[in-house]
Amino acid sequence: MKIIKSRIFKILVILFIVGILLGVISYLLLGSNNSSIINYFSLINNGKFDYFNSLINSIIYNYKYAFIIWMIGIIFFLGVLIPIIIVFRGISLGFMVTCIIYTFGLKGVLIALIMLFPCVLVNEFIYLLLSYYSINFSYKSINAIRYNKSINLRSFVKNYFLIFLIFILVLTLSSLFEIYISSNIIKFVV
């Protein structure tokens, strides 16, 4: 895949990994109140987990980041914010996984793996791809303005919007899997 081999995508992946490391370090330095994690897993284990509201919250959370990244691409001079979002996503992931492992010990490794595969990894890959397209869209727009090149703006925006819709569909499927399948698998582990 041409995108994965691109320099921009590689930089985004490195920033994401740096974010994960910062998340792990921040948990180790700051610690955290693990009661919300324990409460989340006890709701799943006791059968009191609200699937529908959790699905809505998951979809809103996923759409929020996708929409922000997509809009930053359209407002091309804000493209420099995308790497910050990617680092923040990495910090959140590193913090969450470390918190789960520290809370549940060895069982936490298995819980973290169940949560990561495939939902979180798919989501983060989608955010990285969307970030790549947003930065690419911004770069092409800035170059068109800077060098007074003409581009077919309608086609350009239409393709960018189509990519966004495809990624939204994948994020929706990922949310469905996360809430209805991963949470039921976690029930057997916790």
| Mean confidence (pLDDT) of the chain | 88
Mean pLDDT of 71-94: 90
What pTM was estimated for this model as a whole?
0.90
- The span from the CA of 51 to the CA of 131, in Å, is 30
Q: How many domains does the chain have?
A: 1
Confidence of residue 67 (pLDDT cuts 50, 70, 90): very high
- The span from the CA of 98 to the CA of 83, in Å, is 22
- The span from the CA of 42 to the CA of 76, in Å, is 44
Which one is predicted more confidently, 31 or 166? 166
128 pLDDT more than 70? yes
Per mean pLDDT, which range of 14-18, 27-31, 44-48 is the poorest?
Answer: 44-48
1 pLDDT more than 70? no
Q: List the domain range (segments joined by +) for residue 133.
A: 2-189
Confidence of residue 36 (pLDDT cuts 50, 70, 90): confident
DSSP 117: I
Start-to-end C-alpha separation, the chain: 39
- Determine the pLDDT at residue 90: 96
Which CA distances in Å does 177 have to 81, 112, 186? 30, 15, 12
- The span from the CA of 24 to the CA of 16, in Å, is 13
168 pLDDT more than 80? yes
